[in-house]
Amino acid sequence: MIRYFIIVMVAIFFTQCASLQAQKNETEKWPNNYWQQHVAYTMDIDMNVETYQYNGNQKLIYTNNSPDSINKVFYHLYFNAFQPNSEMDARLQTVPDPDKRMVTVDGTKEHPVYKSRITPLKEDEVGFIKIKSLQQEGTPIDYVVEGTVMEVTLAKPIYPGEKTELEMSFIGQVPVQIRRSGRNNKGGVALSMTQWYPKMAEYDIEGWHADPYIGREFYGVWGDFDVTIHIDKNYILGGTGYLQNPQEVGFGYEDKNIPLKPNKGTKNTWHFVAPNVHDFTWVADPDFIHDIKQVPNGARLHFLYKNNPDIQKVWRKMEPIAVKTMAFYNDYIGPYPYKQYSIIQGGDGGMEYGMCTLITGARNFESLVGTMMHEMGHAWFQFALATNESKHPWMDEGFTSFVEAVASDKIMKNKKDFIFDMPYKYYYYMVSTGKEEPLTTHSDHYATNMSYGINAYDKGSVFLAQLGYIIGWENLEKTLKAYYNKWSGKHPSPNDFKRVAEQVSGLSLDWYVNEFVETTHFVDYAVNEVKANSITLERIGAMPMPIEVSVTYTDNTTELFYIPLNVMRGEKSISGTQLPDWDWGHTTYTFTTPKPVKEVYIDPSLLMADVNRQNNSWKK
Ligand SMILES: [Zn+2]
């Protein structure tokens, strides 16, 4: 738990909360000038568990809520990435530090030679999605497939506010598991079906986001899914969406008075409906155990994992903690928007999807709990608050890592002195390597996996913790709630988050987002000179910050001084001595003290990401 000494002006927050609520009630609409596209999918899938191929029929209704006329649309065909010589394959051979899950390693420890696991895939091991037919309102239309992206020229444009129907049939092949999705993962889960269907790309105020699939993040259109899957009858399924026919498949059906109606053929039909999501995932295995837990006043949690005593022992121990974690996030950020959430063994590592997560099974308790807490946090950051995570991975990975650290502290009571120690350490390390890239870098385009990983997870987490230093911790927590309240179910941008933080705190924060997100400037402040009753501080790094400095006098009393930064155009509430603003153009700042000084320490909270703390203190 963070013992933070800042007292916040509660009254201001309540006034602002009330005005946000009033605004919501007034319109029940999107924020000013905001719009988003909508898609409703109906899919019928026939899975062959022997060949790993599936035939699909997809009908979608696409609504153009943009002010633009649309003449073409783009689909993602993600499974095409898992083919020799794909862009993903090429990237694995050229990035200096590829994702270790996606390569085999030869050579020596000092000089490892990485080989893409995609390159040697055979015809019957690759992934693909092949379109068999495509029509717009019954008229066949032209399309071009380029790797993982399909460009479709419409027969007639979709004018602003209009809808169109697109129908296709396709055949897919589930790849050998390379990254996230695939067949027979390391834990032996048969089918991890993520990013498995022709998926409409998002069109927003920036235009189309038809990024090729290189391996990192996603961005999708908000909409509704109605998915029917025909599969061998001994398979158990879990994933996105509410199961419509549990009595037919005998899954999670608790009312013993209603008899099961098992299908007499060799296949079962699983019918799922998922309202207001931007992705649809499913997992299937013949050997799953299924547990259910209820979050008080919240969602039902489903757990699916392989029937193995070691795995069961650890997963059963994790289940009540998952209940507590969801209750914590409901309270800390805002209510989870669905009635169901599933934690499913599958994939590689942990990954978030609509209403569910896939986590590999064979883990110790700490690792399983940590991953569960992280992935569940994504139900808020990216699933409800659907940022374009390809462009702003720090807003989902970083914010999720932040709430994960807070949840872990509250629930697991780790008794850490500083719960964000690791993200700060990694961030400082990255700065020291000289390989840092700005947070604005597109996730697929980072020069190294290291800079992507530390930026997205750690610097993104530091962004929030440090914002707590700037606006005050209570204001930060109120900002998270207000952000969720305003932007859940939409696609918030970095500026949207910043505006909420500004409205909650009453401070200007453009300088902060600009310096910390859009540049690689860093914070380094130092104690420059101390005379008997005067202290001079110095800004060495390019990035300016408000400063808190703890001063111990020769009589052993301590006083905390707070120096607001001029471009904040205000100050947070603090139980310390407030000094005049530091106008950042000056690199030094001098103030006098009432008593002779013995010790000086800049930022005792450790929340300011000062890359060099050696020069933060002075002792007589
Ligand atoms: Zn994550």
| pLDDT band at residue 238 using 50, 70 and 90 as cut-offs | very high
Does residue 112 fall inside a structural domain?
no
Looking only at the bridges linking them, the beta strands covering 128-136 and 139-140 are: antiparallel
The pair of three-digit structure tokens given for residue 299, joined into one six-digit string: 């969602």
User: What percent of the chain shows pLDDT beyond 90?
Assistant: 89
Does residue 556 fall inside a structural domain?
yes
> Is 448's pLDDT higher than 70?
yes
* 446 and 508 co-located in one domain: yes
The pair of three-digit structure tokens given for residue 290, joined into one six-digit string: 């299924």
Ligand 1 center–CA 352 separation, angstroms: 7
Structural domains of the chain, count = 2
Ligand 1 center–CA 168 separation, angstroms: 33
Judged on CB neighbours under 10 Å (0-12, 13-18, 19+), 557 is exposed
* Cα–Cα distance for residue pair 401/397, rounded to 1 Å: 6
Ligand 1 center–CA 311 separation, angstroms: 22
* Cα–Cα distance for residue pair 404/422, rounded to 1 Å: 13
Does residue 189 fall inside a structural domain?
no
Q: What is the mean pLDDT of residues 596-602?
A: 97
Reported as type and span, the H/E element at residue 211 is none
Q: What is the mean pLDDT of residues 342-356?
A: 96
> Is 247's pLDDT higher than 60?
yes
Ligand 1 center–CA 406 separation, angstroms: 15
Question: Average pLDDT over the chain, rounded to whole?
Answer: 94
Low-confidence winner among 162-171, 249-258, 413-422, 603-612 (lowest mean pLDDT): 249-258
Contact 592, 536 (CB under 8 A): no
Ligand 1 center–CA 170 separation, angstroms: 31
Ligand 1 center–CA 416 separation, angstroms: 22
Ligand 1 center–CA 549 separation, angstroms: 35
Cα-to-chain-centroid distance, residue 354:
12
Ligand 1 center–CA 215 separation, angstroms: 14
* 456 and 540 co-located in one domain: no
State residue 243's pLDDT score.
96
* 409 and 514 co-located in one domain: yes
* Cα–Cα distance for residue pair 330/73, rounded to 1 Å: 36
Ligand 1 center–CA 327 separation, angstroms: 19
Ligand 1 center–CA 396 separation, angstroms: 7
Ligand 1 center–CA 368 separation, angstroms: 14
Of the residues 487, 503, 518, the one at which a domain ends: 518
Of the residues 490, 518, 546, the one at which a domain ends: 518
* 489 and 555 co-located in one domain: no
**Nearest one of 270, 269, 302 to 288, comparing CA atoms:** 302
Ligand 1 center–CA 69 separation, angstroms: 35
> Is 401's pLDDT higher than 50?
yes
Does residue 114 fall inside a structural domain?
no
Does residue 472 fall inside a structural domain?
yes
* 529 and 508 co-located in one domain: no
State residue 322's pLDDT score.
98
State residue 16's pLDDT score.
45
Ligand 1 center–CA 27 separation, angstroms: 33
Q: What is the CATH number of the domain that holds 15?
A: 1.10.390
Judged on CB neighbours under 10 Å (0-12, 13-18, 19+), 113 is exposed
* 488 and 547 co-located in one domain: no
* 498 and 544 co-located in one domain: no
Domain span at residue 443? Answer: 10-30+403-518
Does residue 505 fall inside a structural domain?
yes
| pLDDT band at residue 29 using 50, 70 and 90 as cut-offs | low
> Is 51's pLDDT higher than 90?
yes
Ligand 1 center–CA 161 separation, angstroms: 35
State residue 7's pLDDT score.
36
* 539 and 554 co-located in one domain: yes
> Is 205's pLDDT higher than 80?
yes
Of the residues 518, 553, 577, the one at which a domain ends: 518
* 483 and 419 co-located in one domain: yes
Ligand 1 center–CA 500 separation, angstroms: 23
> Is 261's pLDDT higher than 80?
no
| pLDDT band at residue 28 using 50, 70 and 90 as cut-offs | low
Ligand 1 center–CA 457 separation, angstroms: 7
Ligand 1 center–CA 382 separation, angstroms: 9
* 562 and 497 co-located in one domain: no
> Is 447's pLDDT higher than 80?
yes
* 569 and 546 co-located in one domain: yes
* 445 and 508 co-located in one domain: yes
> Is 213's pLDDT higher than 70?
yes
Q: What is the pLDDT of residues 535-554, one digit of tens each?
A: 999 999 999 999 999 999 99
Ligand 1 center–CA 510 separation, angstroms: 26
Ligand 1 center–CA 453 separation, angstroms: 10
Ligand 1 center–CA 266 separation, angstroms: 38
Ligand 1 center–CA 149 separation, angstroms: 24
Ligand 1 center–CA 403 separation, angstroms: 11
State residue 30's pLDDT score.
79
Ligand 1 center–CA 92 separation, angstroms: 21
Ligand 1 center–CA 15 separation, angstroms: 34
Which DSSP category does 441 fall into? S
Contact 82, 182 (CB under 8 A): yes
Cα-based distances in Å from 98 to 173, 175, 378, 440, 444: 25, 20, 24, 21, 12
Q: What is the pLDDT of residues 62-115, one digit of tens each?
A: 999 999 999 999 999 999 999 999 999 999 999 999 999 999 999 998 888 999
Ligand 1 center–CA 395 separation, angstroms: 10
Ligand 1 center–CA 133 separation, angstroms: 36
Ligand 1 center–CA 211 separation, angstroms: 20
Contact 465, 473 (CB under 8 A): no
Using only the alpha carbons of the chain, give its radius of gyration. Answer: 26
Ligand 1 center–CA 73 separation, angstroms: 29
Ligand 1 center–CA 350 separation, angstroms: 8
User: What percent of the chain shows pLDDT beyond 70?
Assistant: 95
Packing angle between helix 460-471 and helix 399-412, nearest 10 degrees? 80
**Nearest one of 376, 378, 379, 350 to 362, comparing CA atoms:** 350
